[in-house]
Amino acid sequence: MTKYFTILPFLIYCSSAFAQDYTQFVNPFIGTSNYGATHPGAVLPAGMASVSPFNVAYKKGDGNVFEKDSEWHSRTYVHENNFLTGYSHVNLSGVGCPDLGSILLMPTTGKLELDPEKYGSTYRLEQASPGYYSNHLTKYNIKTEVSATMRTGISRYTFPAGESHILLNLGLGLTNETGAALKIVSHTEIEGYKLIGTFCYNPEDVRPVYFVAKFSRPADKFGAWKKMPEYTAEAAWTTYNNIYKPYNGYSYEMAGENIGTYFSFQTREGEAIEVKIGISYVSIANARENLEKEQPAFSFDQTAAKAKSVWNSLLKRIEVQGGTDDEKTIFYTALYHILLHPNIFQDVNGDYPLMESSGIGKTNGNRYTVFSLWDTYRNLHPFLSLVYPELQSDMINSMLSMYKESGWLPKWELLGMETNVMVGDPATPVLVDSWLRGIKDFDIDQAYEAMKKAAITTDGNKLRPGIEKYSTLGYIPEGAYDNLWGTVSTTLEYNISDWNLAQLARELGKNDDYKYFNKRALSYRNYFDKFSGMLRPRMSDGSWLTPFDPKAGANFEPVVGFVEGNAWQYRFYVPHDINGMIKLVGGSKKFVNELQRCFDEGNYDMANEPDITYPFLFNYVKGEEWRSQLKVRELIGKHYSNTPSGIPGNDDTGTLSAWLVYSMLGIYPHCPGDMSYALVSPVFDKVTIHLNQKYYPGERLVIQTEKNKPGDVIIEKVKLNGAPYNGYFIDHQNLINGSELLFKLKGH
């Protein structure tokens, strides 16, 4: 892969002088192939703005393999591609649906060309590190560098001598939503907005993202442009027919679908021009204020240094010793990916768009957005609760504000819009799990009210379609509801949410609720089909869906009863009742055999969430825990690597990365809301997690690992604070008290 350069060699060389620099172990190219859907652009932790190279338009250049409009495509950047058409300033990381990837800035030279298919360029000499990305545009001999603050991006383009241009394109982008407006304010400033949305092709969710762009040097010439429609009868008189039309010197409002601006400069050899762009989801005025507050001057180097420093301050929360450079890199890069979403939504003045409303809210704290909860409730939020509880607290409070504003907790919240993507009621396990772990600085009564509303409302329940039959029949029958995706999967999700709510009810002394929800949490058993040993869709009359193929539905193929998976992949997804499941399937031995079959027969999918807790479930059967230890290590080796394809599939806003980080630490929260972690073999010799003492009594959690020889992965024994520790689960309370966990590993 000749065009793939990281700045690792240099950084490693310097690492002795900067021992605290963990950004050296982040490779932002990981996940940019194999549908990981991450991008290598510049972004801060939880950054609202980001600056990503955009190379997914047109099958052109030195082989653009993937083209955004030729498939279901959710990536602003694909490592295999090599035709850059600009830098997008709002981007999602690791999501499965196209959106954002908009507000594209692109430098060019020579004759002004407005068609991105023509002005795009191949590139080489890519470099990326947290808060920084750079390449060299081969067509123009321009060095491009980008960095970011929380709500702004900055680009530095180093031009050759001659006629140079910087194009802002509001037409091209990843989002399927069309339409934009802009105004050239002066020779150094542009303002406007671009409509984004239709996430997952959902036509309802649309809003504008506002921006203000400022240039470090006044343009010698500027203008707007727009692609004109195709004229037929009038073609004879129409100068710009189905092509890009320049509006030279135009400084009124411009609106349309394929519009942009050009700023032209006569540049000296090696002259650098910087462009900073402020973003807001509230207004142009706020975008300008964000820009003025976060980047009052033009100082690319300072901005990039600040970004690196901010990253380091979060990454160093976990210090590792031992392991190879590649292991450290996949670990810290996963940590990096975890910290991208949910991200900040409010402007520097505290303004943010209210949930599901066109109103504007104001907050003194942090308002988060981009909650891909069907993914993240499983491990990412439990991870944040452990390592970054202050972030998780703000996220919880953001979720509760969404409830206050819209009447419902979020499911897949994107920029203040409930996209209703995926199924279940995943906010509940996030809230409960956080509370139980020790994050209690939110209004638990209101949280309970919000969760219970979703759990019991039968009329117009926006979060839990099918709740009526679910409550009365104990399962959701096939065919009873239009537009209800995956009766079995949805029921399983409701079960774990109910189980979580029950745990909290017990904590809060709401015993009736506890009993009710705890019982309802086991209703999945109604789907258990003794004949197949599977959870099998049922009809309203209680009969089984027939025919039934437990393998049908793998690889995201649609299948009746299940959501992004087949019966195998959902077979054991009752993490709150694995012991019950063991009985159902016929005992421990049968359970172990079937779980092993799941892996052996290719029914386990590392690239999607429903089954990602399965590798840890062998821990439930005494004497079989080695299977979890082996399997997890095998999956890490097979699916994760320090390469662009080093994430098994869509990162799902960090969920697959959270799986990796936990697995490498040797602890995994196998069931959200259950304070028990499954133990597997840690990868590193020593890991120190610096705990946030506002939430946890301990200063740090240390995980030490001793091996007899390199390659040992089987747990021989475990010690907690020097004392032998029995069992392969450990409770959260044991990790947050300043404990030291020691693993002694042996060969297989």
Helix axes 511-520 and 487-507, enclosed angle (nearest 10): 160
Question: Is residue 255 close enough to count as binding its own copies by CB under 8 A?
Answer: yes
Per-residue x/- track, 368-387, its own copies (CB under 8 A)? --------------------
Helix (H, G, I), strand (E, B) or coil at 198: coil
Site for its own copies in 312-371 (CB under 8 A): 358
Stretch that binds its own copies, among 205-213, 309-317, 367-375, 569-577 (CB under 8 A): 205-213
* CA within 13 Å, CB half, 107: 31
Q: Are 497 and 518 in contact (CB under 8 A)?
A: no
- Residue 353 CB, shortest distance to its own copies, in Å, is 9
Q: Is residue 201 close enough to count as binding its own copies by CB under 8 A?
A: yes
Question: What is the token pair recorded at 375?
Answer: 């993914």
What is the H or E stretch that residue 153 is in?
strand 152-159
Give whichever of 241 and 518 is closer to its own copies, judged by the CB atom: 241
- Interface with its own copies, residue 253, by CB under 8 A: yes
Report in angstroms the alpha-carbon separations of 48 from 77, 93, 394, 640.
18, 11, 15, 27
| 179 counts as binding its own copies under rule CB under 8 A | yes
CB of 238 to its own copies, least distance (A): 6
> What's the closest the beta carbon of residue 253 comes to its own copies, in angstroms?
5
CA distance 109 to 651: 37
Minimum CB separation of residue 90 from its own copies in Å reads 15
Residue placing its CB nearer to its own copies in the complex, 247 or 626: 247
Could you say which of 207, 453, 510, 719 contacts its own copies (CB under 8 A)?
Answer: 207
Instruction: Name all contacts of 632-640 with Cβ < 8 Å and 24+ positions apart.
Output: 632/663, 632/668, 632/680, 632/681, 633/680, 633/681, 633/683, 633/713, 635/606, 635/663, 636/660, 636/663, 636/664, 636/683, 638/606, 639/606, 639/607, 640/330, 640/334
- Closest CB to its own copies among residues 240, 548: 240
Residue from 16, 71, 111, 482 in contact with its own copies (CB under 8 A): 71
Q: Is position 414 an interface residue for its own copies (rule: CB under 8 A)?
A: no
Q: Is 482 in the site for its own copies (CB under 8 A)?
A: no
- With CB under 8 A as the contact rule, the residue among 4, 5, 247, 556 that binds its own copies is 247
Q: Among 44-52, 206-214, 376-384, 466-474, which window interacts with its own copies (CB under 8 A)?
A: 206-214
> Binding of its own copies at residue 206 (CB under 8 A)?
yes
List the structure tokens of 160: 């050759």
Measured distance CA(557)–CA(546) in Å, rounded = 18
Peptide bond into 208 cis (omega under 30): no
Query: At closest approach, how far in Å is the CB of 412 from its own copies?
Result: 16
Hey, is 361 helix, strand or coil? strand
Q: Residue type at 554? A: A
- CB of 162 or CB of 407, closer to its own copies: 407
Q: Is 180 in the site for its own copies (CB under 8 A)?
A: yes
| Angstrom distance (rounded) from CA 272 to CA 148 | 17
Distance between CA 556 and CA 609 in Å, rounded?
A: 12
Q: Is 259 among the residues that bind its own copies (CB under 8 A)?
A: yes
Question: Shortest distance, CB of residue 202 to its own copies, whole angstroms?
Answer: 8
Cβ atoms of 563 and 573 within 8 Å: the answer is no
Question: Binding of its own copies at residue 226 (CB under 8 A)?
Answer: yes
Q: How far is the CB of 255 from its own copies (least distance, A)?
A: 4
70 binds its own copies per the rule CB under 8 A: yes
How far is residue 656 from each of residues 121, 636, 648, measured CA to CA in Å? 33, 11, 8
Instruction: Choose, by CB under 8 A, the member of 195, 396, 414, 535 that binds its own copies.
Output: 195
240 binds its own copies (CB under 8 A): yes
Range 474-491 burial, b when 16+ CB lie within 10 A, else e: bbbbbebbeebbbbbbbb
Task: Give the nearest distance from C-beta 478 to its own copies in angstroms.
Answer: 23
Residue 747 per-residue DSSP state: -
Nearest distance, CB of residue 201 and its own copies, angstroms:
4
Q: Which residues contact 72 (CB under 8 A, 6 or more apart)?
A: 97, 98
| Residues in contact with its own copies, shown as a per-residue x/- string from 627 to 666 under the rule CB under 8 A | ----------------------------------------
Task: Walk across the sheet containing 667-668 and list its strands.
Answer: 667-668, 676-679, 729-731
Under the criterion CB under 8 A, does residue 248 sit at the interface with its own copies?
yes
**Residues paired with residue 134 on neighbouring β-strands, in sequence order:** 127, 145
Q: Does residue 231 belong to the site contacting its own copies (CB under 8 A)?
A: yes
Q: Which of 37, 44, 181, 501 binds its own copies (CB under 8 A)?
A: 181
Residue 532 CB, shortest distance to its own copies, in Å, is 32
> How far are the Cα atoms of 1, 206, 281, 402, 429 from residue 419, in angstroms, in the given order?
38, 10, 17, 13, 19
Cβ closer to its own copies: 234 or 482? 234
Helix axes 325-338, 300-315, angle to 10 degrees: 100
| Smaller CB separation from its own copies, 10 or 201 | 201
44 binds its own copies (CB under 8 A): no
Question: Please, what's the b/e burial string for 46-65 (b: 16 or more CB within 10 A of its CB; e: otherwise)?
Answer: bbbbbbbbbbbbbebbeebe
- Relative orientation angle of helices 380-387 and 389-406, to the nearest 10 degrees: 130
Indicate whether 254 belongs to the interface with its own copies (CB under 8 A). Answer: yes
357 vs 693 by CB, closer to its own copies: 357
Please choose, out of 222-230, 380-388, 505-513, 696-704, the segment that lies near its own copies by the rule CB under 8 A: 222-230
**Alpha carbon distance, N-terminus to C-terminus of the chain:** 35
**Nearest distance in Å: CB 535, its own copies:** 28
User: Does 472 engage in binding with its own copies (CB under 8 A)?
Assistant: no
The nearer residue to its own copies, 228 or 444, going by C-beta atoms, is 228
Least distance (Å) between residue 421 CB and its own copies: 12
3-class secondary-structure state, position 57: coil
> Does the protein bind its own copies through residue 232 (CB under 8 A)?
yes
Q: Pick from 220, 257, 601, 731 the residue near its own copies by CB under 8 A.
A: 257
Residues that bind its own copies (CB under 8 A): 69-72, 176, 178-181, 193, 195, 201, 203-204, 206-208, 226, 228-229, 231-234, 237-240, 245, 247-248, 250-257, 259, 358
